[in-house]
Amino acid sequence: MKYKKLAITITLLVVAVGYGIYRYTAEPTLKPSLAVAVAPVDLESVQSKVPSMKPKQITVVEKLPQSISDSFQLMAQAYASDLTLPAYSIPLSANDSTLLNPNAYIPQAVLLQDGASASIVLPQYRFSFPEPVVVKLEVKGLAVNGASVSLRSELAGGTEVLVAKTMLGSDGEWAITLDAEEDWDGPIEISVTFSAKGKKQTLKTGIEYSHPTATITGVGDIRAEGSDMLIPVKVDVELAGYYRLRANLYTADKQPIALLTGSDKLTQGSVVLDLKAYKEVLAQYKGPYVLSTFVLERRPAVPGELTQYGHSEEPAYELGDFAVESLSDEPWQPDEQEMQRLEFLQKMAGD
């Protein structure tokens, strides 16, 4: 895609098309004895004195406001920094909590009367059949008399109740384990209702529940491929499609190294989806290595289709040792699309 400067060309055509003769008749404010003489107008003479006008062309260059230009400059700098390493192998640190725990559910406390608060607590955000869903209610500063939970399918507009149960608990903590059913598939709304001071309160949240479309069964022998350590991930595919796999690479003592991402069109059956770790992210870490924290997605094939998910038979797989020095020193080069994106951001920033 080529990016052009924002420019608007406005062409103004000014053409003299003629003149009319206008007569002015004044109201009788003058004395009747006074007469006003109107001299005849020579139209051809007037027209001959009007210079012919050529169309003018004005070019206006639209300039972005400074605040927007500054934003694009920051984006361009950040993107240029990202391009120093391949997107399929992003360094991780202990501070990258979201990347280290991509399936974490973050409770949101809801403020109630008199400074009280309540929140729904879940072990994770995304579930794979037949995993049970454990729902907890935590209430602070308010005595709860009873609580219940219901699950509704969002695909049916939130009207189809999948299950409704009474929760057990006391002293501000209520919980229940909901066993999965076959028709649990897709986004699900969780509603928790509790009674306090004679009033009912309802909290709502959402989760993703799916029947796995593919299963990670193991990893093959890692090997060198240019400047990358290649990790062949074994996958049993139930539903063919375009898949993306994200996984975290760790040292044996669970020190995070890199987020690895691989994508490919997978056919039904037993296949391999490769992940690659770039030499530069491995340089300061010694094996043995461990691959864990998997997110396997089947991407939508057509607009409106939902993302579907796979899962892993094991939470982690040991990769063993690897000779990082066996990797080549060839520098990584961004592809044409990535360079075009950078060029676009730089132009928008006015660089």
Task: Spell out the domains of the chain, with CATH numbers in brackets.
Answer: 1-83 (no CATH), 116-210 (2.60.40.10), 214-326 (2.60.40.10)
Helix, strand or coil, per DSSP, at residue 69: helix
pLDDT for res 240: 97
- Nearest Cα to Cα of residue 348 among 79, 49, 32: 79
Q: Is 44 exposed, middle or buried (0-12, 13-18, 19+ CB in 10 A)?
A: exposed
pLDDT for res 197: 84
d(CA 199, CA 319) in angstroms, rounded, equals 56
pLDDT for res 19: 32
pLDDT for res 198: 83
d(CA 291, CA 233) in angstroms, rounded, equals 10
The distance from CA 230 to its chain's CA centroid, rounded to whole angstroms, is: 27
pLDDT for res 294: 97
Residue owning tokens 């037949």: 130
**Residues of the chain whose pLDDT is less than 70?**
1-67, 69-70, 72-73, 75-84, 158, 335-336, 338-339, 342-343, 345-346, 351
Tens digit of pLDDT for each residue in 222-276? 999 999 999 999 999 999 999 999 999 999 999 999 999 999 999 999 999 999 9
pLDDT for res 48: 47
pLDDT for res 303: 87
pLDDT for res 104: 96
pLDDT for res 18: 37
17-34 in b/e form (b: 16+ CB < 10 A) is: eeeeeeeeeeeeeeeeee
**257 phi-psi bin (left φ>0, alpha ψ -120 to 50, beta other):** alpha
